[in-house]
Structure 1
């Protein structure tokens, strides 16, 4: 097999592949055997028809066509491996020459044009030091967590006064467009200042007492009229304020297994410190990836980028035509960062010689299935049927490469060397690790499967 490579762009390559007759011959034989299983020829059992008879019966062109369908993907994959091309999208395949008869000297020739991962030069990991800020837990952090805990034990008490920020109002809503009611809700409990419903609702409610009502203009966010302006009439049925328990030993006994407030505070501080250490590990990961990309030119394939931007816009519940300039900018920046991070981690995984086993992928997918309460076997079958297995393998490889790379460098906060072993684990534990990106990818498939039970069969 002869392979010529032409770089069209830094991230796009054209492979011209010419196949010797002896290399194409096994595919012709395989095609004849497959066709023999499907045709009835007098005097021969199905599946046992000689190749020459098949050529006469269905024509060599049909045999060659069947052989090409099998040969091209196989030989394309071999060409990628031989020339160290790492595709990032499906190729455009153009079959240019095919032998027309058994004795034809014409060689199978096809062209594959594909977007690929660019060559990326990473810094040497040995001796590399990366600065990460040391996490600090303040009294304010502890007090904020205690305040959140207090709110869980708070009670709502009715008040005879106008509603204000932080109060809870029981309200009725009726939205109209051109005088026609398009949406209405009754008995909704809403916290003023939370800004979790319609724009303008907080301002409309501020200062209203029970039994009073007003009308304001707002943009509907859901339903058949989402995005449209409407006149919204809101009536206040009642106003309540939240009363929180005192921070004392009695509260500690009610809210935890501790007998005193001091013991509860000490436990809350430990939890805050654990969270801070976890954030530090995340910051170390981000700093590590940023160092790998520092000063490097990392072009992003145009077609892959366009698809990624479209996916990000979809997550923002819009598309290219209706998206605002701000949404387009956000989607593009997110897509480019995501793709660059992926390409760098793929390159790193190759450099540290990551090996992804079947157990790695199975354990990873099984853990995601468990999170979604799904049968692991059905979920893995769905991944395979949806063509997502390769992506799962790639994500696990990125995760293992990331952990191996982070273990090879030194993280410091000032003069202090940071110990991240609790988060990086040991090399033998890699098969149990997951990246955020891998979890997100598998979770998206899980969502699809949970919506359509047939896809898991």
Structure 2
């Protein structure tokens, strides 16, 4: 089989594949054998009708389409390899005509991976991000632990203030009609949390236990329930209980209770060390992200829509997975946010385009810098994966992984090598 490149414009390539008549005849015979059991022609047992008889009854081209489907995938793959192309979408196939005794000429048009015009990434300068642990950071961390270790106590002798935790019953009305989903009993609500409709919580401040309150609010225009958008509503609220969180004193006893240290000072020092480590990791991530962003900006590439669409599906799957880890599925998220799958795709599209461009740029720099991935690199990464997945039989895990497609791992290793190289080249101010 012979492949000839006809033209290459932007990211679209046209080429022809010439399939020898003898190869096409073999594929036609294979198509006949595959389908002959379907035919029932008088004078012949089912499945035993000669190919010639079938072609006399249905036409000589009867098996051609099946033959093309059998032979074309391999011919296409061989042509792509021969012409050193990297398709990123399904090809458009055109066969003008098939004439017996002549080679079959197939015309192919397909979108391929674009070329990257690499910028002068070696002269890039980036302002270095640094985070320093302050006394306020330590105090904030202490307060967080203090909050977690607070105890809830009943309030009997005062009115509601911000921060109190109420137990309430309520019924919601629009006009004289009680609306669906606007009723609850023994509902817990922290005043100031912002969980309820704007203006709801503020109207309970200053009220007392056992008091019944008419809370008047207006639903936001972007509210998820169509029938309530922009409507004024009255909630008849009864305050059953008022509770507050009593916080422990920040002293040595507190340190003993919440940590392995005997004094508050030792505990503060430990918090500082952990925050310094956390801030250092944050610095590295943000500096690395800024570095990649600057390098991407310095390069030019015309990204095919097909590549963005493919990445967009990946982004959508990742988003769905993140939502599920938070206890809701994609359909519920769309309902809560009053959005559609199309609007979500538009929201994710710039991220998908940037991700594709980033991968293309890193790949181009890897080629320019002759960065390669060795078997040793792959083994090290597989060992890390085995450890992270807590595999008892590490050797068996690595052996099983090596039986599959590890191109994703090679790409990840290559990209990391490129990033490490860039970090050593680029100037951080």
TM-score for both structures, normalised by structure 2: 0.71
Note the alpha carbon deviations across 1:86-140, whole angstroms, 9 max, x for none: 333x325233235354x2x1514133333x4321133578898765323322222
Partner in structure 2 of residue 265 of structure 1: 268
Contact 2:219 2:228 in 1 (8 A): no
Question: Structure 1 residue 294: deviation in Å?
Answer: 2.7
Contact 2:119 2:299 in 1 (8 A): no
Please show how residues 343-354 of structure 1 align to structure 2 within 5 Å. 343-348=360-365, 352-354=371-373
Distance verdict in 2 for CA 1:107–1:143, change over 3 Å: same
Does residue 338 (structure 1) correspond to residue 328 (structure 2)? The answer is no
Does residue 142 (structure 1) correspond to residue 138 (structure 2)? The answer is yes
Partner in structure 2 of residue 231 of structure 1: 233
Contact 1:175 1:181 in 2 (8 A): yes
RMSD of aligned C-alpha atoms? 4.7
Does residue 169 (structure 1) correspond to residue 188 (structure 2)? The answer is no
Partner in structure 1 of residue 418 of structure 2: 405
Distance verdict in 2 for CA 1:60–1:256, change over 3 Å: farther
Contact 1:164 1:206 in 2 (8 A): yes
Question: Structure 1 residue 255: deviation in Å?
Answer: 0.7
Which consecutive residues of structure 1, in runs of 5 or more, have no partner in the other structure?
Answer: 372-376, 381-388, 417-457
Note the alpha carbon deviations across 1:249-272, whole angstroms, 9 max, x for none: 111111112222122112211211
1: distance between equivalents of 2:388 and 2:53?
53
Distance verdict in 2 for CA 1:258–1:39, change over 3 Å: farther
Larger Rg computed on CA atoms = 2
Note the alpha carbon deviations across 1:264-287, whole angstroms, 9 max, x for none: 112211211221122122123312
2: distance between equivalents of 1:130 and 1:401?
23
Contact 1:172 1:186 in 2 (8 A): yes
Does residue 278 (structure 1) correspond to residue 274 (structure 2)? The answer is no
Distance verdict in 2 for CA 1:415–1:397, change over 3 Å: closer
Partner in structure 1 of residue 394 of structure 2: none
Please show how residues 414-453 of structure 1 align to structure 2 within 5 Å. none
Partner in structure 1 of residue 69 of structure 2: 69
Does residue 244 (structure 1) correspond to residue 244 (structure 2)? The answer is no
2: distance between equivalents of 1:106 and 1:290?
51
Contact 1:173 1:185 in 2 (8 A): yes
2: distance between equivalents of 1:284 and 1:337?
17
Partner in structure 2 of residue 217 of structure 1: 218
Question: Structure 1 residue 202: deviation in Å?
Answer: 3.5
Q: 1:182 aligns with which of 172, 180, 183?
A: 180
Which structure has more relative contact order (CA 8 Å, sep 6+)? It is: 2
Residue correspondences, number: 386
Question: Structure 1 residue 303: deviation in Å?
Answer: 5.0
2: distance between equivalents of 1:33 and 1:191?
75
Distance verdict in 2 for CA 1:32–1:124, change over 3 Å: farther
Distance verdict in 2 for CA 1:93–1:333, change over 3 Å: closer
Question: Structure 1 residue 24: deviation in Å?
Answer: 4.6
Note the alpha carbon deviations across 1:356-383, whole angstroms, 9 max, x for none: 9998998899899999xxxxx9xx9xxx
Please show how residues 295-334 of structure 1 align to structure 2 within 5 Å. 295-305=298-308, 317=334, 318-319=339-340, 323=343, 330-334=347-351
Distance verdict in 2 for CA 1:40–1:197, change over 3 Å: farther
2: distance between equivalents of 1:23 and 1:365?
46
Please show how residues 122-161 of structure 1 align to structure 2 within 5 Å. 122=118, 132-159=128-155, 160-161=157-158
Question: Structure 1 residue 217: deviation in Å?
Answer: 2.4
Partner in structure 2 of residue 110 of structure 1: 107
Distance verdict in 2 for CA 1:40–1:368, change over 3 Å: farther
Contact 2:363 2:415 in 1 (8 A): no
Query: Does the residue aligned with 1:409 lie in a helix, a strand or coil?
Result: helix
Distance verdict in 2 for CA 1:75–1:180, change over 3 Å: farther
Query: Does the residue aligned with 1:242 lie in a helix, a strand or coil?
Result: strand
Distance verdict in 2 for CA 1:174–1:359, change over 3 Å: farther
1: distance between equivalents of 2:419 and 2:186?
53
Does residue 120 (structure 1) correspond to residue 116 (structure 2)? The answer is yes
2: distance between equivalents of 1:187 and 1:292?
56
2: distance between equivalents of 1:348 and 1:226?
54
Note the alpha carbon deviations across 1:363-420, whole angstroms, 9 max, x for none: 899899999xxxxx9xx9xxxxxxxx98xx665344222211122234599889xxxx
Which consecutive residues of structure 2, in runs of 5 or more, have no partner in the other structure?
Answer: 321-329, 392-396
Question: Structure 1 residue 30: deviation in Å?
Answer: 4.8
